[in-house]
Protein backbone atom coordinates (compact mmCIF):
# COMPACT_ATOMS: atom_id res chain seq x y z
CA UNK A 1 0.00 0.00 0.00
CA UNK A 2 1.36 3.40 -1.00
CA UNK A 3 2.06 5.78 1.83
CA UNK A 4 0.57 9.25 1.70
CA UNK A 5 2.17 12.68 1.93
CA UNK A 6 0.38 15.18 4.16
CA UNK A 7 1.14 18.75 5.17
CA UNK A 8 0.03 20.87 8.09
CA UNK A 9 0.29 24.59 8.50
CA UNK A 10 -0.93 27.21 10.88
CA UNK A 11 0.05 30.83 11.43
CA UNK A 12 2.89 31.38 13.86
CA UNK A 13 1.95 35.04 14.11
CA UNK A 14 -1.22 36.94 13.30
CA UNK A 15 -0.60 38.36 9.83
CA UNK A 16 1.04 35.28 8.30
CA UNK A 17 -0.27 34.05 4.93
CA UNK A 18 -0.61 30.36 4.18
CA UNK A 19 -0.41 30.75 0.38
CA UNK A 20 3.39 30.45 0.08
CA UNK A 21 3.52 27.46 2.43
CA UNK A 22 0.74 25.73 0.49
CA UNK A 23 2.67 26.25 -2.76
CA UNK A 24 5.85 24.84 -1.15
CA UNK A 25 4.01 21.70 -0.04
CA UNK A 26 2.45 21.19 -3.49
CA UNK A 27 5.93 21.51 -5.07
CA UNK A 28 7.07 18.71 -2.73
CA UNK A 29 4.37 16.43 -4.11
CA UNK A 30 1.69 16.84 -1.45
CA UNK A 31 -1.80 16.66 -2.98
CA UNK A 32 -3.78 19.81 -2.20
CA UNK A 33 -6.54 17.73 -0.56
CA UNK A 34 -3.92 16.45 1.91
CA UNK A 35 -2.88 19.92 3.10
CA UNK A 36 -4.51 20.80 6.40
CA UNK A 37 -4.53 24.32 7.78
CA UNK A 38 -5.71 25.96 10.97
CA UNK A 39 -6.26 29.63 10.21
CA UNK A 40 -6.00 31.04 13.73
CA UNK A 41 -3.02 30.97 16.06
CA UNK A 42 -3.56 28.48 18.86
CA UNK A 43 -6.25 26.58 16.94
CA UNK A 44 -5.68 22.88 16.26
CA UNK A 45 -8.99 21.46 14.96
CA UNK A 46 -7.63 20.64 11.48
CA UNK A 47 -4.46 19.21 13.03
CA UNK A 48 -6.56 16.86 15.16
CA UNK A 49 -8.48 15.78 12.04
CA UNK A 50 -5.19 15.21 10.20
CA UNK A 51 -3.81 13.05 13.02
CA UNK A 52 -6.89 10.84 12.86
CA UNK A 53 -6.33 10.26 9.11
CA UNK A 54 -2.59 9.59 9.01
CA UNK A 55 -1.25 6.07 9.43
CA UNK A 56 2.09 4.43 10.05
CA UNK A 57 4.62 5.22 7.33
CA UNK A 58 2.85 8.33 6.04
CA UNK A 59 4.90 11.52 5.76
CA UNK A 60 3.94 14.81 7.37
CA UNK A 61 5.48 18.02 6.02
CA UNK A 62 5.58 21.02 8.35
CA UNK A 63 7.29 24.37 7.96
CA UNK A 64 8.53 24.57 11.53
CA UNK A 65 8.52 22.53 14.70
CA UNK A 66 6.54 25.42 16.20
CA UNK A 67 3.37 24.39 14.33
CA UNK A 68 3.15 21.36 16.61
CA UNK A 69 2.22 23.40 19.67
CA UNK A 70 1.94 26.74 21.40
CA UNK A 71 4.73 25.94 23.86
CA UNK A 72 7.76 23.69 23.96
CA UNK A 73 6.15 21.06 26.18
CA UNK A 74 3.28 20.67 23.71
CA UNK A 75 5.73 20.54 20.76
CA UNK A 76 7.75 17.76 22.42
CA UNK A 77 4.58 15.84 23.28
CA UNK A 78 3.27 16.08 19.70
CA UNK A 79 6.65 15.15 18.25
CA UNK A 80 6.72 12.00 20.40
CA UNK A 81 3.14 11.10 19.46
CA UNK A 82 3.92 11.43 15.76
CA UNK A 83 7.29 9.69 15.72
CA UNK A 84 7.12 7.08 18.48
CA UNK A 85 3.45 6.23 18.81
CA UNK A 86 2.17 6.67 15.26
CA UNK A 87 5.43 6.05 13.35
CA UNK A 88 4.78 9.05 11.09
CA UNK A 89 7.72 10.34 9.04
CA UNK A 90 8.18 14.08 9.60
CA UNK A 91 9.82 16.50 7.18
CA UNK A 92 10.58 19.92 8.73
CA UNK A 93 11.09 22.49 5.97
CA UNK A 94 12.53 25.24 8.18
CA UNK A 95 15.25 22.92 9.44
CA UNK A 96 17.02 22.76 6.08
CA UNK A 97 14.62 20.17 4.69
CA UNK A 98 15.24 17.79 7.58
CA UNK A 99 13.54 14.53 6.74
CA UNK A 100 13.08 12.27 9.73
CA UNK A 101 11.77 9.23 7.94
CA UNK A 102 11.57 5.58 8.76
CA UNK A 103 15.19 4.93 7.83
CA UNK A 104 17.06 4.01 10.99
CA UNK A 105 20.11 5.90 9.66
CA UNK A 106 18.24 9.05 10.64
CA UNK A 107 18.94 8.51 14.36
CA UNK A 108 21.33 11.49 14.39
CA UNK A 109 18.65 13.75 12.87
CA UNK A 110 16.09 12.51 15.40
CA UNK A 111 18.51 13.35 18.22
CA UNK A 112 19.09 16.81 16.72
CA UNK A 113 15.36 17.57 16.74
CA UNK A 114 15.06 16.45 20.35
CA UNK A 115 18.03 18.65 21.28
CA UNK A 116 16.44 21.65 19.56
CA UNK A 117 13.18 21.10 21.41
CA UNK A 118 14.95 20.62 24.74
CA UNK A 119 17.03 23.76 24.17
CA UNK A 120 13.86 25.76 23.51
CA UNK A 121 12.37 24.38 26.73
CA UNK A 122 15.31 25.76 28.73
CA UNK A 123 15.07 29.27 27.26
Dist. CA 1–CA 43, nearest whole Å:
32
What is the value of pTM for the model shown? Answer: 0.76
Sign of CA dihedral 21, 34, 106, 55: positive
Dist. CA 113–CA 115, nearest whole Å:
5
> Containing H/E element for 35?
strand 35-37
pLDDT band at 105 (very low <50, low <70, confident <90, very high): very low
Contact 114, 80 (CB under 8 A): no
Is residue 90 helix, strand or coil? strand
Phi-psi region of 22 (alpha: psi -120 to 50; beta: other; left: phi over 0): alpha
Cross-strand partners of 61: 7, 91
pLDDT band at 82 (very low <50, low <70, confident <90, very high): very high
Amino acid sequence: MAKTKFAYLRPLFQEQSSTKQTCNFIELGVDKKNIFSDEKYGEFSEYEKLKSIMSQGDTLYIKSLRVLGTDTIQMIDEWNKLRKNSKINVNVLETYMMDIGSDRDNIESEQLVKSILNFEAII
